[in-house]
Structure formats: C-alpha cells, structure tokens
Amino acid sequence: MGSVESRSSYQKHLARFLPDEQADIDGVFCSLLGSEEALAPKGGKAVKKGLTLGMLKARVKDALPESMVMRLYDGMKSIQWSEKSPGPNSSVAKEQFVVFMSVLLKGNAEEKSSILLNMVSRAAGNVKGHQILEFAEDLVGSVVHVLNIRKQLRGWDPMNMQNSTTGVKTLASQLVSELKSADGKKTEGAQVLDVTCDESSLEDWIFRIPQVSAFLSVILQQGLLVLHSLPDQCRDTVPLLPECKGVKGHRFVSLLDLPSIIYINSQLPAELQHKWRLLFSSRLHGESFTQLCSHIVNKGPCVLVLKDSDGYIFGGFSSCSWEVKPQFQGNNGCFLFSIFPSIAVFTYTGYNDHYMYLNHGQQMMPNGLGMGGQHEYFGLWVDSNYGEGHSKAKPKCTTYNSPQLSAKENFTLDALEVWAVGDLSTNDAGKGPKSVLDVDPEAQALLEMIGKSRQSDGLREDGDNDSE
C-alpha cells in the first residue's frame, strides 16, 4: 500500500496546486459526493462524507470504461491517510483524493509507482507482466474512449480511420515491452508476460516511458474533469492528438487509427506535434508515382504510411522537405516505424547518412522513394513503377537499425498516404506549388531543347487548402 500521509505531508501535496487549481479539485470532490459536506447539528462537528465507488461511477458515467474507474478508485484507496485506516468497505477521504491527484498530475515516478502498483492489482506485493499488460490495455483504451466521448479528437473522425481495437493492443504491448523485471533485467518478446515486477520496476517504467504519465493525466482531466476548465492547463499540456487537416469533404479511410497517431506523433519534434495535414492518399489521388511526387515535394516534414498486400502497415518520418534529386537528403531526425502487426520506432544509428531519397525520370540512378540502407537495399523503398517496393534488412537496416518492415522482402503496395506535420516553413512555402514537370527533369529539359514553353506553369495548384 502507499506510504502513510501526515497532515504536514498533505499540506505539501496541496501546495503543488495553485489557488484556482485547489478550488477546482475541491469542487470536483464535492460534485463526486453529490452535495456539499454534510453539516452536523448546531455545536457539533462537521460530518465528512467519503467517496464511494458508486459515487465515482455515477459521476464518470460513460466517459471511462468501468474497469478504469475501478482502477482509479483502488489507487485512491491505496493512499494510507494517518487519520483513517482504509478497509475493504471504507470510502475515500478528501485528503486521499487530493494526494492521489497531486501524485498522478504533479508527482515524480517514485511517487506514482506505489499507486500504480495498486491500480495494476488489488493484491499487495509484486505483480506479473501480464497484469501490467492488462493495465496498459485499459490505459490506452481509456484514453481513446474518453477523447472520443469528450469530443477532443481535434478533427479526426473515427469514420475516416481504422478501428482502434487492434491499435490499443499493439500500443499496450509496445509500452509493456520496455518493462524490466524486479532484478533489473529486460526481457524480450512474450517472456515479458511472465516477469515479476516490483515497485522499483514500475518506477523505472514510468520514468522511461512518458506516455504512461501523459495517459493518466488525460484520463483524470477528461474523465473526471479535474483541472479541465482552467486555461493554463490547456496551454501547459501537449495534446496527444495533432489537429487533423486536409480530410474534410473526402470519403477517405486512413491507414491509421487513434493509438498509432498518438504514438507516432509523440515521437516527432515537439514543434511539429500540433498539426497533421493530408497531402497524398493513393485512394484519393490515384496510384501514380508522379502524383505522389507532385503532392509531397517541398511540403515540409512528412509522415509516410504504407500498407502492403499482406496487411502490414509501416512507414517513415522525413524531417525535411522531399526534393527530387539523385542524392540522399534529410538529417538524423528522420526515422522508420512499424504500426502493424507491431508498433515501434527505429531511429538513426550513425552508420551512414542515407536518411531520405527521392528520384524520378532519370536513367543513371534508381527512380523511386527510399529511406535508409543503400541503393537496391533500402529499409523502405517504393519504386517509381508504382505498386512495387521492398524492405531489405539483413538483419537490420544500417541507417535506422530497423528490421524488415513488410511481410515479404519485396512487397506489393496496397495503399499509401502522406501527412505533412507542423506548419509549412517560409522557406518551403516560398518554393510554391509544383508542376508535374518540376519532378520530371528530363521532360523539362526536352521541352526547353525544342523551344517549347511549359504550359503547365499556368496550371499550378493554388495554395494548400485545409478542406482540399
């Protein structure tokens, strides 16, 4: 159970909140009780009402799954208040509620670990990896659920996305894969489900995996509406989901689901996490490499997502604008990732600088889009003969240390989409929208040789439109 909290310790927890935050937490606790604290007859002491599980469920209603409500309640009860010995049928005192909010919203990994241990399992003592996996699935699923219920999806429409059921499980598995056992050893694969974890294991996990604390904060703020209405909290909290642009008006179903967007977005530089804008979808713009190039060149950093004919979903983040040229480009901010059947990010190794490659319409160099590895052996490659690609990693991609991302080394492309992330910089915006001939230098040169002007110059696309 959690350590015994004294009156002086309670004041320290309370002092973590600003006056308006303290007032907000007081108001939430009173609303959970259903009324103000009852007053005793004249001359008597005030009767302090405690929070019961039934009261918490009545307040939350359908904003959170019942399993997460019970875990939150177990976490509150685990805090041993010096004036109250929690028993199996006891309620939660206001002091326990405030300490719980202080630890999960403002506390460090050491403080959170004891509460999380009780949220993972009611039984005292160590827990198993499979129990932490169940907790992680509850955690991710509750975030997706509450953001949807509270209409905090920031333009992402579940009708335009993959169902999140599989994504919840894959993201939870990825989070738990970082667990270390009680003896400090890291396990691989399915072995993580059988490891024994103690409070120090959870402390290490919370410290190294920031998504755990971020997800808990969202569950409390959106599920219980704690500190929900304070403007300072909105500014201080980095949104899990970026704002979605460029999809409105399209009958479009993305390759992504909410958990994968949340995870990939968390791996981007902070200044790029606030907005994603659809640039290209093979299901909207056609299965054409020329179309792909014309939509993504000079559009700033991008997230590229592919699905092969076997159902594997993977992609890469380009930290710079794509340019058509026969040389490698980009910088060490690029990375590759997998979404299905597992979700993971693979960052640069320092072995070489083969971050990005985009070439089209030339005979001397390979034509296509690639990331990592080398010519003919890319970590991710889409051939200019659209529909073909490869992911060659024997055993790992030299640039990103990624495994084979597709089901087969040489794959058939089923669908592809590209999202611009962040705001378009002035340098990229100044280059203007691209003509198809801008990405076909040989065709451009041929026109100039025969003295023809480029009629497409007058037919360039207008500037980006969010409703496009």
CATH classification at residue 168: 1.10.238.10
273-299: per-residue pLDDT in tens? 999 999 999 999 999 999 999 999 999
Please check whether residues 31 and 152 belong to one and the same domain.
yes
User: Is 211 inside any structural domain?
Assistant: yes
Please check whether residues 293 and 229 belong to one and the same domain.
no
pLDDT at position 454 over 50: no
**Residue with tokens 């909140």, as numbered in its chain:** 17
412-426: per-residue pLDDT in tens? 999 999 999 999 876
Q: Which residues, in sequence order, are bridge partners of residue 313?
A: 307, 340
Helix (H) or strand (E) holding 138: helix 129-149
Please check whether residues 89 and 198 belong to one and the same domain.
yes
Domain extent, residue 100, equals 4-236
pLDDT top residue among 391 and 459: 391
- State the average pLDDT over residues 198-222: 95
User: Is 216 inside any structural domain?
Assistant: yes
User: Is 248 inside any structural domain?
Assistant: no
Q: Tally the domains of the chain.
A: 2
Taking the model in full, what pTM does it have?
0.86
Please check whether residues 226 and 330 belong to one and the same domain.
no
Give the span between the Cα atoms of 446 and 440, in whole angstroms.
10
- State the average pLDDT over residues 304-313: 98
Helix axes 164-176, 258-266, angle to 10 degrees: 40
DSSP notation for 400-413: T-----SSSSEEEE
Please check whether residues 214 and 303 belong to one and the same domain.
no
User: Is 50 inside any structural domain?
Assistant: yes
Please check whether residues 198 and 278 belong to one and the same domain.
no
Please check whether residues 184 and 283 belong to one and the same domain.
no
**Distance of alpha carbon 73 from the chain centroid:** 26
User: Is 112 inside any structural domain?
Assistant: yes
User: Is 101 inside any structural domain?
Assistant: yes
User: Is 243 inside any structural domain?
Assistant: no
User: Is 353 inside any structural domain?
Assistant: yes
Please check whether residues 219 and 287 belong to one and the same domain.
no
314-356: per-residue pLDDT in tens? 999 999 999 999 999 999 999 999 999 999 999 999 999 999 9
